[in-house]
Structure 1
Amino acid sequence: MNLETEDPKQIVLQVGAVLKKLRKERRLSLEDLSELSGVSKLTLGNIERGETNPTIGMLWKISKSLSIPLMALFPTEKNVNLSRAGEGLRFNGDGNDWVIEPIFQNNTNKDMEMYRAYLQPNSFYHPEKHHHNTTELATIMSGTITINVNNESYILNQYDSISFSTDGTHSYANRTNDVVVIHIILKYGI
């Protein structure tokens, strides 16, 4: 996680507390959650204690195994929400080629999440599997990108949109020399 305007240690501690609360509410041991998520028991314990900064891949696996949206792991208490590009929570994929920013992280609508995503020039991103029965909607805000869904490629330009089920595979490819900005909505069917 890359938290530019928030206190990173505080966010890591909050995520750990939320994870522990959710795990206990479901009466799961660390070992149970490890088996469900594929994240080691040691790593889960470190996350709960705020002793490690989890990757976006780990958080996806954990949220998927608990059948909750990713942002449910981040507590918030605001009534008015403002999401500015480049501020707040930022997650890097493997390396820094793919960066996402949750939009309205304290969204009370637990069946939908929005993200601003940035894919660096001449790079690719293959996301972790999403929750079962999830629909992804993507609108290209700037640039041109190739999105591969279940081995079929779609080239999208600025303001083009695509919607697809994430039960299969999908990936993003930026074959240009410019950063591509994408607005992504995940609609959960959980």
Structure 2
Amino acid sequence: MSNPEVLVKRVGTTLRKIRQERGMSLQGLAQRVDVSKLTLGKIEKGEANPSLSVIWKIANGLSIPISVLLNEDQTVKISRKNTGNKVVSANSACILEPMFNVSHYGSIEMHRAYLKPNSEYFPGSHQSGVVEYVTVMEGEVKISIEGEMFYLHQHDSIKFNGDREHAYINSTAAPAVLHFVMTYTNT
């Protein structure tokens, strides 16, 4: 999607729908996801463009994949690089591009991630039941999982429980491209 305003509206509409389906007030949602009521209200109205960290907080608090918030209703979809929705990390080190959006709070999602040279991306930990499968498509990446470092080169893959503190580190002068598959067993 090339129009950020449409994406912002979609996130807001989807968030409001989920909140209302679960019978939650805006204040209740704010307490559950650790994002201010004011910010959530602006997101629901399409008046705020949430950062990747805010979208993760919301998704984790609601126990849903982040791609649910970016849902598009299409039966057949081709995901071409650099043409989909994009969410940028707070430090701008990582651009996440959901590949195929799930509907009805699905249990799997796929993303491309573009990690800038000499940068770090700390998503923290996700809700219980999340398993991450990560493949390095281009470049080299170090992945820190609760302080233990794993070195991955092009086409290497790793699987780990996403509810553990983790970070992605690109200490090279070239960008890295990652492919994420995330499964949610508690959805």
Report the TM-score when normalising by structure 2.
0.94
Query: Is residue 119 of structure 2 the alignment partner of residue 95 of structure 1?
Result: no
Where does residue 84 of structure 1 map in the other structure? 80
Number of aligned residue pairs:
186
What is the distance in 1 between the residues matched to 2:55 and 2:26? 15
Where does residue 178 of structure 1 map in the other structure? 174
> Which segments of 5 or more consecutive residues in structure 1 lack a partner in the other structure?
none
CA displacement, residues 39-85 of structure 1 (integer Å, 9 cap, x when unaligned): 00001111111111111111111111112111111232211110111
AA partner of residue 145 (structure 2): V
CA displacement, residues 130-179 of structure 1 (integer Å, 9 cap, x when unaligned): 12111111111111111111211111111110000112111111111111
Report the TM-score when normalising by structure 1.
0.93
Measure how far apart 1:109 and its partner are: 7.8
Indicate the RMSD between aligned Cα atoms, in angstroms: 1.4
Matches within 5 A, 1:67-146: 67-106=63-102, 110-146=106-142
What is the distance in 2 between the residues matched to 1:67 and 1:108? 12
Confirm or deny: 8 A CA contact 1:78 1:106 kept in the other structure.
no
Where does residue 159 of structure 1 map in the other structure? 155
> Which segments of 5 or more consecutive residues in structure 2 lack a partner in the other structure?
none
Confirm or deny: 8 A CA contact 1:103 1:116 kept in the other structure.
yes
Aligned mate of 1:28, from 19, 24, 32:
24
Confirm or deny: 8 A CA contact 1:57 1:128 kept in the other structure.
no
Query: Is residue 11 of structure 2 the alignment partner of residue 15 of structure 1?
Result: yes
Identity across the alignment (%): 39
